[in-house]
Amino acid sequence: MELPLLTVTSPLLPDMEEYQKLLQDIWSKKRITNNGFYHKELESKLCSYLKIPFVSLFTNGTLPLITALQALRITGEVITTPYSFVATTHSIWWNGLKPVFVDIDPDTCGINPDKIEAAITPRTSAIMPVHCYGIPCDVKRIQEIADKYHLKVIYDAAHAFGVEKDGESILKYGDLSTLSFHATKVFNTVEGGAMVMPDEKMKKYIDYLKNFGFAGETEVVAPGINSKMDEVRAAYGIANLNKIDQAIQNRKKATLAYREALKNVPGIRYMEDMPGVKHNYGYFPIFVNEKEYGMSRDALYEKMKEANVYGRRYFYPLISTFSTYRGLDSSDPANLPVATRLANEVICLPLHHDLSDDDISRVIDCIIKR
């Protein structure tokens, strides 16, 4: 008998009865978009839960990245990482800017601050790091470099929902941070996203930009786009927010089980918790050293699939290898040795709130029984 499929993630779903009540209220109000009651309510609840000053909801996680670059009037070149989802770099391209790739830190998989300064040119105007797997970048070092060269910092924090460092939200660092609420994320609104900003003035400007630039019924103050979140998904998010703490605890339990089982497996490396960091346990990447493990990453990946265990080689291939970007000087693999190596070693194991002990054992058996 074929074993049930285990996927790398599973969406957190709100309580159906609770969500239906919210939907009934939306139906009675007959307002389903344009900054309605639940849109405002979710923004307020997110500010409280995430310990952030201001947030603006978006219809997905890519549009806040594009809008952030517009809002800060970024020009020329943006230093970023090749080890991310393509939306990070696509947002730079869509703004008519040039991405400049630098290598990553092997311990955090985030941009390596030691490599940033050498990539700065007179055309550089911003840095776009990624809190990869929800692991905080070296935000202090990055800010020091940005201040030295008068650069803006926009964090792609798609993975970093609820992550804190020394009691402070990681989303408060840089000039702006963006979130994804896609179904695959720790917290989701089916599709959705958000931008975190430091003050009310920027919040108002961002809200203009995501609504065609309208500042009133007849006044358009900027060439904006339409990227608003609707009431149906905002209500979904409100209901999901009530379940998020338990979901993260379940993810942590699975993470600890993986670590305990794999700690003595030669050639398998994983990431530990960082001191002073409150993690969200969004992903569990392992890195396969073929020589020590005795099997290549891709061979293990295929073996897992044969057992109906679907991990994900996340992030493989590197963004810098895609046709749009491979012609850039900074895309040369010689410039990105750590990112290239990790992209060829990584598998994200199934990790979500719904994993049972038996599910976790199945995943572990794929790795340790050879």
Same domain, 177 and 131: yes
- Segment 152-170 shows an average pLDDT of 98
pLDDT value of position 79: 99
Arithmetic mean of pLDDT over the chain: 97
- The answer to whether the beta carbons of residues 153 and 174 sit under 8 Å apart is yes
Same domain, 222 and 94: yes
Tell me whether residue 3 is in a domain: no
Q: CA 91, 96, 100, 101: dihedral to nearest 10 degrees? A: 30
pLDDT value of position 23: 98
Residue 19, pLDDT > 90, answer: yes
Same domain, 135 and 267: no
pLDDT value of position 247: 98
- Segment 251-255 shows an average pLDDT of 98
**Separation of alpha carbons 180 and 195, rounded Å:** 9
Same domain, 217 and 306: no
Tell me whether residue 251 is in a domain: yes
Same domain, 215 and 274: no
pLDDT value of position 104: 98
pLDDT value of position 3: 86
> How large a percentage of the chain has pLDDT more than 70?
100
Same domain, 222 and 328: no
Q: Given pLDDT bands bounded at 50, 70 and 90, which one contains residue 369?
A: confident
- The answer to whether the beta carbons of residues 239 and 16 sit under 8 Å apart is no
- Segment 23-38 shows an average pLDDT of 97
Is the omega angle on the peptide bond into residue 317 within 30 degrees of 0, that is, cis? yes
Residue 1, pLDDT > 80, answer: no
Same domain, 354 and 210: no
Looking from the CA of 137 toward its CB, the CA atoms found within 13 Å total: 34
**Separation of alpha carbons 363 and 305, rounded Å:** 10
Using one digit for the tens of pLDDT, what is the confidence trace for 100-146? 999 999 999 999 999 999 999 999 999 999 999 999 999 999 999 99
Same domain, 170 and 258: no
Tell me whether residue 193 is in a domain: yes
Same domain, 86 and 205: yes
Structural domain range at position 362: 244-368
Residue that terminates a domain, selected from 193, 225, 241: 241
Tell me whether residue 4 is in a domain: no
- The answer to whether the beta carbons of residues 157 and 179 sit under 8 Å apart is yes
Tell me whether residue 11 is in a domain: no
Q: What is the CATH number of the domain that holds 232?
A: 3.40.640.10
Using one digit for the tens of pLDDT, what is the confidence trace for 214-252? 999 999 999 999 999 999 999 999 999 999 999 999 999
Residue that terminates a domain, selected from 198, 218, 241: 241
Tell me whether residue 6 is in a domain: no
Give the Cβ contact number of residue 95 at 10 Å.
16
Using one digit for the tens of pLDDT, what is the confidence trace for 311-335? 999 999 999 999 999 999 999 999 9
- Segment 263-292 shows an average pLDDT of 98
Residue 2, pLDDT > 90, answer: no
Number of domains in the chain: 2
Same domain, 220 and 251: no
- The answer to whether the beta carbons of residues 103 and 337 sit under 8 Å apart is yes
Tell me whether residue 92 is in a domain: yes
pLDDT value of position 81: 98
Tell me whether residue 10 is in a domain: no
Same domain, 269 and 227: no
DSSP designation for 5: P
- Segment 144-154 shows an average pLDDT of 98
Query: pTM score, two decimals?
Result: 0.97
pLDDT value of position 32: 98
Structure tokens at 344: 């060829």
pLDDT value of position 343: 98
Residue that terminates a domain, selected from 241, 265, 285: 241
Q: What is the CATH number of the domain that holds 336?
A: 3.90.1150.10
Same domain, 137 and 273: no
- The answer to whether the beta carbons of residues 109 and 133 sit under 8 Å apart is yes
Question: Beta partners for 128?
Answer: 80
- Segment 275-303 shows an average pLDDT of 98
